[in-house]
Structure 1
Amino acid sequence: MSNGPIGVALVGAGNISGQYLRNLTSFPDVRVLGLADIDTVRAAAVAAEYGVPVSGTLATVLAVPEVEIVVNLTVPSAHAAVALEALRAGKHVYGEKPLAMNVDEAAKVVAEAANLGLRVGGAPDTFLGAGLQSALHALRSGLIGEPVAVTSAIQNLGPESWHPNPEFFYQPGGGPLFDLGPYYLTALVSLLGPVTRVAADTRKARPHRVVGSGPKEGLVFPVDVPTHVNALLDFPGTATATATFSFDSPVPRRMIEIIGTEGALSLPDPNTFEGPLLARGARDADWRELPVSGTTAGRGIGVLDLARSLRAGTGHRASGELAYHVLELMCAISESGERGEFLPITSTTTAPDPLPADWDPYAATL
């Protein structure tokens, strides 16, 4: 087995790449060796900013022999194609959410990795952050008894007011369900286990949106996906959950509350890595804040966990299995919204083990 830091290449130098690059270039157990983008000029500029030695096309970075993991930050419509090309080049793949545009594409990625003896990982990795890891420990300690029900919601007016290129958020593979759903659904599955069936109702408030800032300000573009989704999820043997995902709400809302037989937990925003984490017992007059411990390093800790797991020969937590299950949930929610009936979930997954208490992204272990 190889020793030393794991070589990583990023594909996609867009809006999210800066967060990954800031973190991955600071973790001693990984080395960022390449950055690819269809705009090779942009790739070169971003690579220079973060000291990445190789930039250019996807083929260019895949040809770097020391690259072991490819981090796929492309738009959702390109996720499967880029993942398959990286796998066929002998690289493990960690992708931004969603894993693919649909379950058929995702199944091809997962099957190809299995055939080649390679690994697939997928965002979000926020469930590995201090806030949700502390929630997991609270649940497993029996603090609120047995989980009974979950209420979750993410509501806002959509990203077009601030994002310079928001059109893809309103195309297939986008919308509040596919953009924000992975954070909430991954958090719930990591806490409660897999879902067996879903039902949903969906709406679209208006057929067009307008870019609100940047060089495209004023551009009118079509909305091709539902922008308000209400879902019901069944976690067998534990809880049922209601989940709302909306780009139609002038009142912003981000919440997950888990009701148990002995109390309740109010979780932090699952699109973050921190707290606060609140608890309330059956006889409590109000919520109380619980201590939160763990890493708050941010996006990329799932890549780091994959890298360390590769060297150790252990399972990684932000796994392809988990990302596939969450993708099937979203696709089934979308289909249920069209059909108006409960739909079964055929995939399953195992709730990931908690990170060790001493897990430190900034300590060299490889």
Structure 2
Amino acid sequence: MGEPLRVGIVGAGKISGQYSATLSGLSRVAVTAVADLDPARARLLAGRHPGARVVDLPDLYAAPDVDVVLNLTTPNQHAVVALAAIAAGKHVYGEKPLAATGADGLAVIEAAGSAGVRVACAPDTVLGTGVQTARAAVEAGEIGVAHAAAAFMAVPGHERWHPDPEFYYQRGGGPLLDMGPYYLTSLVHLLGPVRRVVGMSSRPRGRRTIGDGPRAGTTFPVDVDTHITGVLEHEDGALTTLMMSFDVWAAHLPRIELYGSKGSLSVPDPNHFAGDVRLFTAGAEAWGVLPPRAGYAGAGRGVGLLDLAEALTEDRPHRTGADVALHVLDVMESMEASARCGASVVVRTTCRRPDAITSVLDLG
């Protein structure tokens, strides 16, 4: 199988713990270096990976034992870190979104192409048994021709649980750019890329209050719209109704449902890797649960690095490709543009639909 893919992590914040837990169990991936503005956080993260060391950013980029930079910084730093890593000849795996703007995302992709390195981007939840089992059912024709979908993410806001939530409400944040990638990436896997969008948005509250951690009670301004809704027209003609909100206390809504000529499919929360996939077909009396058919079993955040490692070894495209991430970012920016102008917007980019995982795979 060759040597493990050696990972240098930039950013040791809250999400790094989930990545660390997954990467610790992967024989094909090894964390060798960690950099963070807070040395204590960096030491804590490095201590979870035997042999990993704490380094400054320039040293991490230059390190000969770092093959790929795992970019876990806040969205406004995604492109900055990615471009520096690419300039040092490193592959990049980044948290979503690919960048704070489509222009920055395109610059990252172009730089990687010139340097001959790969860029991958979260979410890798689409590689779990939830979305992959749903995709297997769609491709087997179990709902016939898929002609519509619904996707809803409705919560009160991340300030209730995150100790430093301001970045969710600044440029590059908001419910669409924060949570939209999970839903939109899943929809690309299930229905293909998007051709045109219509969007509307609002900002019911101008300030938010931190509800947890040492800064609980602190208020801060909201600089982005926090309730976004609209319709996506996929390239094959299917229509998806989408709502992303930080302004809903509770709702009885599906995460993702697909509607076809022969039935309907309920897809589990795309923010997770697994969950029940439910199928209702014409003539059925009730929804049935499909057993897992495809995807990484027991996966967690970071499994995309395993897929990248195997793709490099097998010389094939990785399934968390930057073209999908750029297209998803373009779809989100197009929805925001539509909300501003009051008209439909044609999405400028497209992408290759990633290869499906055709069986249930164990982590290795």
TM-score normalised by structure 1 residue count? 0.96
Distance 1:311 1:282 in 2: 44
SS at match of 1:49: coil
SS at match of 1:87: helix
Query: What is the aligned partner in structure 1 of residue 274 from structure 2?
Result: 274
Query: What is the aligned partner in structure 1 of residue 123 from structure 2?
Result: 124
Query: What is the aligned partner in structure 1 of residue 335 from structure 2?
Result: 333
1:54–1:61 CA contact under 8 A, matched in 2? no
SS at match of 1:82: helix
Unaligned runs of 5+ in 1: none
Partner amino acid for 2:210?
A: V
Identity of aligned residues (%): 43
TM-superposed CA distance for 1:37, in Å, is: 0.7
SS at match of 2:194: coil
Query: What is the aligned partner in structure 2 of residue 287 from structure 1?
Result: 287
Distance 1:238 1:291 in 2: 29
Query: What is the aligned partner in structure 1 of residue 256 from structure 2?
Result: 256
Partner amino acid for 2:349?
A: S
Query: What is the aligned partner in structure 2 of residue 320 from structure 1?
Result: 322
TM-superposed CA distance for 1:360, in Å, is: 2.8
TM-superposed CA distance for 1:185, in Å, is: 0.3
2:150–2:254 CA contact under 8 A, matched in 1? no
Distance 1:52 1:100 in 2: 31
1:155–1:254 CA contact under 8 A, matched in 2? no
Point out the more displaced range, 287-296 or 121-130: 287-296
CA deviations over 1:269-288 (Å, ceiling 9, x no partner): 00001121001012222211
Query: What is the aligned partner in structure 2 of residue 32 from structure 1?
Result: 31
Unaligned runs of 5+ in 2: none
1:129–1:273 CA contact under 8 A, matched in 2? yes
TM-score normalised by structure 2 residue count? 0.97
Partner amino acid for 1:282?
A: A
SS at match of 1:349: coil
- Aligned-residue RMSD, C-alpha: 1.3
CA deviations over 1:132-159 (Å, ceiling 9, x no partner): 1000000000000000110110101011
Query: What is the aligned partner in structure 1 of residue 299 from structure 2?
Result: 297
CA shift in 2, pair 1:209/1:83, >3 Å = same
Query: What is the aligned partner in structure 2 of residue 361 from structure 1?
Result: 363
Query: What is the aligned partner in structure 2 of residue 16 from structure 1?
Result: 15
TM-superposed CA distance for 1:312, in Å, is: 1.5
SS at match of 1:41: helix
TM-superposed CA distance for 1:228, in Å, is: 0.4
CA deviations over 1:168-192 (Å, ceiling 9, x no partner): 1111111100110000000000111
Point out the more displaced range, 50-59 or 275-284: 50-59
CA deviations over 1:230-255 (Å, ceiling 9, x no partner): 02100122410010000000114551
2:96–2:121 CA contact under 8 A, matched in 1? yes
Query: What is the aligned partner in structure 2 of residue 222 from structure 1?
Result: 221
CA deviations over 1:42-85 (Å, ceiling 9, x no partner): 21122113335211321122222021111100000000000000
Partner amino acid for 1:265?
A: L
